[in-house]
Amino acid sequence: MKICIYGAGNIGCYLGGRLAAAGCKIEFIVRPYIRQQLQQYGLTISDYLGVQHTIAANQLQLSDDPQVAAQADLVFVCVKSAATAQVAHELNTVLTNKTLIISFQNGLANTEILKQLLPDQTVLAGMVPFNVAALGNGVFHQGTAGALYIQQHMSMHQLINAFKTAGLELKPSSDMQAIQWAKLILNLNNSVNALSQRPLKHQLSIREYRQCLAMAQMEALKLLKIAGIKPAQLTALPAQMLPAVLRLPDFIFNRVSKNMLTIDPLARSSMADDLIAGRSTEIDWINGEVVRLAQQLNLEAPVNTKLVQLVKQAENSPRAWSAQALKQALQI
């Protein structure tokens, strides 16, 4: 089974690295700056449990040419959401055989975009629940826990076994909308984390930051209820209970969260990485999804709208928000 990772950033390098270390044949389509890093240092993947594997540079199949996807049995699309349509057009020019394409991306619309622009291919939704940080020198680190999900399909057995061999759980689901919304509810913290400019574990240890996240989640959950969408349960607690837990005093939250959150000190959100690197973020495909849902319902989402505004301002002029200042800004 030959797998092409289209968009080898944090998630693409990590998933591809885990599978390559387990013996899968992986082709990486990468941007020049990542290709240069991997050619110099190789690819190292590690996680919060102590797993670590390094694949030497001369064992990596790296390219910036979409043509390499033509020979793949599977294509993992791992690019940022803004690039989905471009990738679909590029794949449409090179894929001649029936190919299975899996979107391992943030947001809710990427799978549909790929399906619309690649009508002759089989496109499935996937979900990566955990955080992956780029630590430099070709090192990609999984800092939080969680099982991967993929849209149920009859030809998934071999891929599920490949992930199992790689030490990752891949679960099939017949309701990916519920899975993706559940992940998005958790990912609403990406904006709070990025604005705090703190590691995830430190940020979540501060009650006012958690209250900011709780406000964003409560707003999203109310809209989902009106829309008749019930998010799946990805954590020890149902999504509907998370805001109440987040608002608990620090000493109680720290006790409760030991069984709910597995985060190591290296973990930070990909949105924080983007701000640090001066890249555009995926805010429109995370908090922005809540804003769009509100618009579809002829309602408003002021908390998530404000977070979108603040992150876009930070893309041009980075600023570390204190917990108190951010909470005040969101109390509209």
The one-letter amino acid at 186: L
**Poorest-confidence range of 16-20, 26-30, 89-93, 275-279?**
275-279
- Greater model confidence, 264 or 128: 128
Q: Domain boundaries in the chain?
A: 2-174, 179-330
pLDDT at position 262: 65
Q: In terms of pLDDT, which residue wins out, 308 or 254?
A: 308
How high is the pLDDT of residue 133? 87
pTM to 2 decimal places: 0.91
What pLDDT, in 10s, does the model give residues 240-293?
999 999 999 998 988 877 655 667 777 788 899 899 888 899 999 999 999 999
Task: Write the CA distances from 249 to 208, 224, 253, integer angstroms.
Answer: 10, 27, 6
Confidence (pLDDT) at 261: 62
In 112-126, which positions are buried (b, 16+ CB within 10 angstroms) versus exposed (e)? ebbbebbeebebbbb
pLDDT at position 204 is 92
Other CB atoms within a 10 A radius of the CB of residue 76 amount to 26
Q: Looking at domain 2-174, what is its CATH homologous superfamily?
A: NAD(P)-binding Rossmann-like Domain (3.40.50.720)
Query: What confidence score (pLDDT) does residue 259 get?
Result: 57
Q: At what angle do helices 302-316 and 287-296 cross, to 10 degrees?
A: 140
Segment 28-48, tens digit of pLDDT: 999 888 999 999 999 999 998
For the chain, the average pLDDT equals 93
CATH 3.30.390.10 holds for 179-330: no
